[in-house]
Structure 1
Amino acid sequence: MELPTLTTPRAGEPLTLYLSAPDIAVGAVLLTDRKTVQTPIYYVSRTFADAETRYSMLEKLVLALVYAAWRLKRYFQGHPIQVLTDYKLKSVSAKQELLGRLAKWEIELGKHSTEYKARPSIKGQVLADFVTEVPAEKVQECLYEQQPPVLSKENKKWILFTDGASSGEGSGSGLRLINPDGQEFTYAIKLNFKSTNNEAEYEAFLVGLRIAKKLGVKFLEARVYSMLIAGQVSGAYDAKNDIMASYLSQAKDLIQQFISCKVVHIRLSENRPTDALSKLAFTSFEHLGKDVRIEVLDSSSVPQHQVMVIQTGTVSWMTPIVKYLSSGILLEDKILARKIRHKALCYQVQDGLLFRKSFLGPLLRCVDTEDANYVIREIHEGICGLHVGPRMVVAKIMNVGYYWPVMHMDAVKEIKKCESCQRHEPHMLKPQNKLIPVTSAWPFQKWAIDIMGPFPEAPGWVKFLLVAIDYFTKWVEAKPLEKITAENIKKFLWESIICRFGLPQTLVSDNRTQFADKGLQELLSELHIS
C-alpha cells in the first residue's frame, strides 16, 4: 500500500481547496496540481460543537472554509486559493442581508484572494474522503437554500413567515405573507408595550393570521421560528403560563377560521428576512425593493394579568374597639356594648392604628390574627429566633411592642407546628395517659408472678428466677430454678405461697406457656384462684 506524501508549495503557486461537511465534523484538504497529479499539502478537520450541529448545510460548508482559512493562514496569505465546490458559496457570502455569524465569516474571508469554481472529477486515491462534499440526504436542502422553489399557482396556498424579538432597546415583530403567485407582502410591527420574546413571537403570529383572514386566504402554511408556538399549537407543549394560554386560545380560534392552516417550525437560516423585519428599528434591510408596511400595536392582543380585588380592612377583634374610640359607635347588643366600653379604657387610637396601654411601658401596637401568626413565627424561628417556649415568646413579643388578646394560646398553637422543636425537644418522662391503679383489699389477696432470666449459671446449674409479689404488702417470694416447667411452677405456688400465706384470690401473670399449662390451670380452678 502506498501512503500519500505531503509536499511543499512553491512561492506564488495557485493552490486548490476541497471541502467536506458530513454530519459530525468539517474537513478540508489543500493541494497543488503538478503534472496533472493532485498532491496534498495539508489536511485539517474538527468535530462540531453542539450548536454547530444545527447549522444548515451551506453554513457548515462556509464554516469548513473559515476554519481552513484560520488553520492555513500562511498559505491563504501567500497563494491564490481556488475553492472547488458544487454549491454557490460565493452567492451566499455576497448577500447584503447577512446577519450574525455569516457576516462575521464574510469579513474573515474577505481578507484573502479566494476564487470559487465548480468541482471537477477528483484525481487520486488520497482524496477519497472528499469525494462527497455533503451527505446525499442533505443535497436537496442545499439546493433549496441556494434557490427556494417558487410556489405553484395550482395549490392556492399562501405562506406566512413570522418572527419576533424583544430587547432592552424595544420589542418588535415581523411577518412576510407570500401568495401563490410569489407576490410578497412585508410587515414590520412595533410593540409599544413591554413584552417578552415569546409574547413578541405570538403577536407576529396573531397579526399574520388576522391579515391573511382579511385578504380572504383559505389555505395557509405558517412557518414560525418559535418552537414554542409550533409545539403549543400542535399540542406537543403545554401552555402553563396564563399569558401563553391566552395567546394559544386566540391562535386556535383564528386557525379554525381557515379551511387549512398548517404551522411549521423552521430554522433561523430560513427566516432571515423576517428576523431582520423584527429588528427593523436598529438593523438595515436593504435587499427589499418595495415599501415595508409598518404598524404600531399600542396594547397586547391578550389582556394582562387579571387582578383579583381583595377587600381591605377586614373585620377583626380590633374593629369594634376602633369604631367606638374613633366614632363612638357601639354594637346593638347591650351586653357586648358594655364589654367593649370597659375594654376601650385600656386602648387608644393614633393615626388610625390601635394601641394597648401598658403599665410603666410604651404603647403596644395591636395586630390582627394574620399579623400575629407572622410575629410569633419571626420571634420563635426567625433570623434571631431561639426556639424558646410560649411564655418566653410572649414576653419577647411584648418587649418588641406588639399585643393581641390571646397571645399565649396562639403562641402555643404555632410552636406546636415547629418541626425543629418537635425533633429536638427534651424527652418527657410524664406518661401520655393517666395511670390506672391496681388495688388489693387485704394482704396476700392478689399476687403477681413472672419468670426472669436466663442469667449466668449459678451453683446447682440454676439460671432462671421465679418471682411472686404481693400487691398489698409488696412482699417478694423468689426461687431459683434450673428449668422452667409447669411442675416447678405448681410446686412453687404450693410451697412458697399457699402453704405460707394461704389461698390467694387472684394470680396475675403474662400467660406464658408455663402459666397456661393445662395441669396448672386445673389446680387453680380447683382452688378457686382466678
Structure 2
Amino acid sequence: MDQPSNAELIITPGEQEQEETHLNKDELKEPERGSQSDKEPLWKLYVNGSSNKLGSGAGLILTGLENFVMDYVVRFGSHTSKNKAEYEALIAGINLAIQTRAQRLKAYCDSQLVVNQIQGTYEARDERMIKYLAKVRRMADKFRSFKVVKIPRMENTKADVLSKLAASGYTALGSICMEFLKKSSIENEIVEIMQVDDEPCWMDEIMNYLREGKLPEEKKEARKVIQRATRFSLDGENLYKRSYTLPYMKCLRPSDASYALQETHEGICGEHLGGKALTIKMLLRGLYWPTLMQDALDLVKRLWGMDILGPFPPASGGREFVVVAIEYFTKWVGDELLAKITEQNIHTFFWKLVICKFGIPRVLITDNGKQFGNRSF
C-alpha cells in the first residue's frame, strides 16, 4: 500500500508496551493527544540508517534551543540489515534527545517501514522488529509530546550522508560526534545496567549526596563531598559534570572510562593521538572522570613504533640499513645504521635505545617482519 510522503504519527505518554508475539493495527491504536504547553521548545531530530558491504551505521541531526545543532554518527559493531539500522538510528536519536532533557520532540525519518510499523499500518511480525517497536514506544513515554514524520529521502540528505560515513568506517569527521555501538540496543539492557551500578567508584559519594543527602561520617570528607557536588548534576542514574564552555559532560565509571579511552585511541575509530590531544578529544565528546588526563598520558606514553629502512647506498663499514624507533607521545626518534639486519642486531638496538632509557613499552607497533617476530623479541 502506497503511503503519503508526509504521513505523521503522534504518540503521547501512557501507551502500554505490547507483549504479544505479533502486533497488528488494532493493537497499536493511537491514544488521544494529551495537553501540552506551547512554551516548551520543540526539538527536531533527523535520522537515517545505512547498511552496506563495508558495515552499518546511523546518522543523526538534533536541533533545539537557540539554533543548537548537533551532528552525530553511530558505527555498529556488527553488520545489520537496513531496516534494523533505521530503528537503531531512531532509538539513538531519541536517547540523545532524552539526555538533552527535551520535552517535545519531532523525529523525521525516510523509512516507510519504520514509520508505518509504529503507526500500525504495517504489522510487525519479526521478533526483533517487535522488540525495536516496543522500545521506541517505551522511550516515547518520556516526552510530553512525540511525533514521527515520514519525509522523502531528498529531504533527509544530510542524515543520509552521515549514516553512510558511519557505515564506511571513516574516522576523520572533525567536530562531528561519533559513537561505537558494540551490540544491538535491544540486547541485555538490564544486565549491563546492573553491572555498571554494582561497580564502586568515585561517583558514589557524590550521587548518594545529590540523591539522598548522605555524607561520609568524617566531617572533613563530608565537606569535600559537598564542595565537589556543586559542580555536578544528577539525572536519573547518570551523573554529569558542569562545564563553563562545554555542554554537561557525562561521568564514567572506571571500566567504561578505560574502554572509551582505548576505543578512542586505538579502536576502530582510533587516531593514535598524543596524551593531551586524546584528553581534549574525550572532553569534546562530552565524557569526564577525574583522572582523565593522567589515564590518557599513561595510555600513550608507552606506545612505540619500530621499522627498518633500506637498503641505501652503502656507507662506511658497509652500513646500508637504518632501524628506527619512535615514541608516539613525545615524538622522540631513535635510529641506528646497520650493515646487517639480523635478529641480534635489532634486539641489541631495542634494548639499548628503548628499554634501557624508557622501560618496557606497553605496545610496540611493527610490520611483523621476521626480525621482530622471533622468540627473543
**Larger RCO (CA within 8 A; separation ≥ 6):** 2
TM-score band by shorter chain is 0.3 to 0.5
TM-score normalised over the length of structure 2: 0.38
TM-score normalised over the length of structure 1: 0.27
